[in-house]
Amino acid sequence: MTSVEFLGEGASLARPPAFNGAAYILDILEAVIDGPFVPTIAGTGDSSIPKPRSDLSEDDKKKDGYNVMAKNIITSALSADEFFRVSNCKTAKDMWDTLQQTHEGTTDVKRARINTLMHEYEIFNMKKDESINDIQTRFTHIVNNLNALGKVIDNEQQIIKVMRCLTRE
């Protein structure tokens, strides 16, 4: 299999691969979640020794490349500031963990953000001279941020909340 077939039609190393249902995308995702694949040989006791590159099988080489592909996918989606935040990370997992920690924060920070947003949701009201479009934008912002943090408010509750906050003006 050539690298062009592996990446897909119209693919480029500068652009993430298009998802086409192929299982390899899951292998790339595994490199982000579990860390890079390190081919090893049995060592003494419970230790293992990394295989020399000359001893890698084709399958080992393929798996070894998933971390590189995952890093490329992540970096191609980042702004310059975000790129510099992760540019010294050695693995895709390190990059992902850094971005996650930066933008989601620790569990305590996440919980505090949810509490703040829930308070905003609960006291949400139409402001004087506010247009329907502005209300919808403000409300959607609160709900989307809650969803991103794992706090989902069902559509029926959202509709009830918006209807109650509207004034007759």
Amino acid identity of 8? G
Q: What is the pLDDT of residue 13?
A: 57
Q: Is the pLDDT of residue 23 over 60?
A: no
The segment with the largest mean pLDDT, out of 30-39, 52-61, 107-116, 118-127, is 118-127
Supply the pLDDT for residue 9: 52
pLDDT at position 102 over 80: yes
CA gap 39, 28 in Å, rounded = 16
Distance CA 114, CA 61 (A): 43
Q: Please determine, for residue 24, whether its predicted confidence score (pLDDT) is greater than 60.
A: no
* Comparison of pLDDT for 49 and 124, the residue scoring more: 124
According to the model, what pLDDT value does residue 3 have? 44
Give the position of tokens 């703040």: 116
For the entire predicted model, the pTM comes to 0.53
The CA-based angle 157-160-161, given to 5 degrees, is: 85
- For the four alpha carbons of 120, 123, 128 and 132, in that order, the dihedral sign comes to positive
**For the segment 110-168, what is each residue's pLDDT rounded down to a tens digit?**
899 999 999 999 999 998 888 889 999 999 999 999 998 889 999 999 999 999 988 77
* Residue 67 in tokens: 């971390």
Enter the tokens of residue 144. Answer: 């989307």
* Residue-by-residue DSSP string for 35-54: -----EEE-STT-EEEPPGG
What is the reported pLDDT for 154? 94
Of 66-70, 81-85, 96-100, 165-169, the poorest mean pLDDT is in 165-169
Residue 22 CB partners (closer than 8 Å, separation 6+): 8
CA-CA distance, 117 to 146, in Å (whole number)? 7
Closest CA to 36 of 63, 75, 59, 3: 63
Residue 56, token pair as written in the block:
């890698």
User: Which is nearest to 43 in space by CA: 55, 51, 54?
Assistant: 51
pLDDT-above-90 percentage for the chain: 31
Q: Which of 23-27, 32-36, 64-68 has maximum average pLDDT?
A: 64-68
